[in-house]
Amino acid sequence: MLLAAVDCVLGTCWVVAFDEGHCREVLSIAENLRPVAMITIGHAAGKIPRRGRRPLEKIVIWDQ
């Protein structure tokens, strides 16, 4: 989800520090479920640079 959002030139943030009770109440989450993480997605304040992928030769070591 994070990578797909960035590919759409959106900003994202993985959030794990939040009030579970408040989150459950605001989002109407059932009592038998526990929110453990949230992802915020939106337009960033600044431009997000689009980066190309690194060549495979720079990130993979072939050891035979």
pTM: 0.55
Q: Does any domain span residue 57?
A: no
pLDDT by residue for the chain (64 residues), tens only, comes to: 999 988 888 888 899 999 999 999 999 999 999 999 999 998 877 766 667 778 888 888 888 7
In the chain, how long is the greatest CA-to-CA distance? 55
Round to whole Å and give the CA distance between 21 and 41: 22
| Overall domain count for the chain | 1
Q: Of 12, 56, 64, 4, which is closest to residue 37 (Cα–Cα)? A: 12
Q: Does 64 reside within a domain?
A: no
- The reply to whether 36 falls in a domain is yes
* Residue 56, in any domain of the structure: no
Is 19 part of any domain? yes
pLDDT of residue 19: 94
Give the range of the structural domain holding residue 36, as residue numbers without chain letter.
2-45
Nearest Cα neighbor of 3 from 60, 36, 51, 55 is 51
Could you identify the residue written with the tokens 């495979």?
56
